[in-house]
A and B are shown apart, each in its own frame.
Chain A
Amino acid sequence: MAEADEASKPLFAGLSDVSISEDIPVEGEITVPVGSPSHDDEYSTLDEPVKETILRDLKAVGKKFGHVMYPKKSTTLLRDWDLWGPLLLCVTLALMLQGGSADSKEDGGPQFAEVFVIIWFGSVIITLNSKLLGGTISFFQSLCVLGYCILPLTVAMIVCRLVLLGGTGTASFIVRFIVVVASFGWSTFASTAFLADSQPPNRKALVVYPVFLFYFVISWMILTFSPSHSDGATDTGP
């Protein structure tokens, strides 16, 4: 109202003694500065080359791997969740646990399906558990965090397989044991760093314990992986 008065002063200078009733609308024009005239303001990902799409997703996954290896209390992992990383890690781990000893089908290590089911089903159950206990984290964010924190254990699996190439004696067992315990501690610590803040304070231990059990079972599967022996008579064919 004050600006309109000032603008209209030179025009209505001589009419100051005329009473203006309340219902005269203030006329004017409000213009918004027009930006670039392009109508496609959204970033459309449909026309970009495939390599760019894949690289962008890979970079996102790689960035999250970095967050897991150096766990700080940042919300990046939670905000932009994706399940590519967990899938990649789960498949890699399950494949590497595959070449185990199997001289009798029953006594061997976990099959691919068992590892897959344990990881995904276990993550779903832990997520449900934390949500039922009153956590504020969403379902997929929790799956994302639990899946990504398997990364140290996958690295430990690779190291174990390399160590096993050198032999299966006590020394290799001790090395594998240390590596697996270290990566188990790392995984649990990383996932609780991300998950702990979203829980009510008097139930934190109730939520952390299943995570601990989950990574313990995976560590056990990695530690007890024993490669097939040549004299184990795996050849059952005629």
Chain B
Amino acid sequence: MWGSRISQGNTFVDLVDTDWKKIAMATPEDLQFQEFEEAAQLLSANPEAVTRSARDLSSAKRERERESVRVNVNLSEEEGEEEEAELLSGQKKQPNFWSFDYYQSFFNIDTLQVLDRIKGSLLPLPGKNFVKHHLRNNPDLYGPFWICATLVFTVAISGNLSTFLLKMGDPQYHYRPQFHKVSVAGVSVFCYAWLVPLALWGFLQWRSSSNPSVTSYSFLETVCVYGYSLFIYIPTSILWIIPFDWLRWLLILLAMALSGSVLVLTFWPVIRDDTKPASIATVTAILLLHALLAIGCKMYFFQTATQTMMPVPSLAPPTGNPNITLNQS
């Protein structure tokens, strides 16, 4: 087969040479982009398949080579210039909002990075803006989401345990799991962690449109800061099981100071160029809402001894009004 082709002259050999040059020029960038799309398409088309990545990559490579061989030689130089221009401008195509890849870009994070961001939220240093220093243009949704989920369950479980410890000596007390508190905790924590950043982001966008010196972070960065700032409440809520009220207040003040300062350090540089009342009001609002969440959690989930001393309508009615008996049953 090869023998007959070669005997027809050198034209085929020339074509082979030129096409290989084009392949050598174009392949690295094209391959990278194509592999990603190919794998994603295969995955979405056949969700039952376990992707065997080596095989897919090599088949994509082979297909790409075949395609590039068929491409007209004249266009090779123009295409090369276009690709170079694209690469130099540093833009990459944004995936569609409805595609899986769009959301995958928010989870582009490693274990060490998550741990580093958590450390950054625990120890606010005056010079270091959380967004600039830790996020560095790579906000993620992993941290906020799982920190909120953990906080929901931690608060509910710790609240349950603290109630149990408090009433342990009471002979009439039967342990109740109080599972409905999980729903209450869930709604309040997730609302705080997602609606407050939305409101703050909207407010900053509005201010920055009227006042050009006020910059704004993107919505994801705001959510990220709020999510990571909630991390300190997780060990705080576990420590709240210890039934000393003064300790609980001390812990809450400590937690609020640390996470509040992270938030203030992040948002102050953005808002300080605004008019005095607006900037003070914004910072105050941030701190106030943060405090509200913490104190609200404490009051609702962790009852103190004084609150349980309140007269509970007992099952054995006091001597007197039979109407009360009927109402209680």
Contacts and interface: CB of A to CB of B under 8 A. Distances in A.
B111 A101 contact: no
Contacts of A217: 153
Contacts of A103: 174
Interface string B157-201: 100100000000000001111111001000000000000000000
Given A204-B111, A213-B150, A233 B315 contact: yes
B49 A108 contact: no
Contact of A138 (B50, B142, B174): B50
B114 interface: yes
Given A132-B106, A213-B153, A217-B153, A138 B176 contact: no
A232 B49 CA distance: 53
B81 interface: no
B203 interface: no
Contacts of B176: 101, 107-109, 226
Nearest to A128: B103
Nearest to B110: A202
Contacts of A139: 47
Given A202-B112, A213-B153, A109 B177 contact: yes
B interface, by DSSP: helix, strand, loop or mixed? helix
A106 interface: yes
Contacts of A136: 50-51, 53
A224 B175 contact: yes
A113 to B, nearest CB: 11
Interface string B89-109: 000000000001001101101
B50 A78 contact: yes
B177 A100 contact: yes
Interface string B107-121: 101111010000000
A110 interface: yes
Interface in A96-151: 100-101, 103, 106-111, 114, 129, 131-134, 136-141
Contact of A205 (B43, B111, B175): B111
A89 B302 CA distance: 34
Given A101-B176, A133-B107, A226-B177, A138 B329 contact: no
B15 interface: no
Nearest to A220: B157
Contact of B149 (A198, A213, A225, A232): A213
Question: 7 closest A-B pairs (Cβ-Cβ)?
Answer: A132-B107, A107-B176, A224-B177, A109-B177, A110-B179, A205-B111, A202-B110
16 contacts: A78-B50, A100-B177, A101-B176, A107-B177, A109-B177, A129-B107, A133-B109, A138-B49, A138-B50, A139-B47, A140-B47, A202-B110, A206-B110, A210-B146, A216-B153, A226-B174
Interface of A: 78-79, 81, 100-101, 103, 106-111, 114, 129, 131-134, 136-141, 198, 202-206, 209-210, 213, 216-217, 220-221, 224-226, 229, 232-233, 236, 238
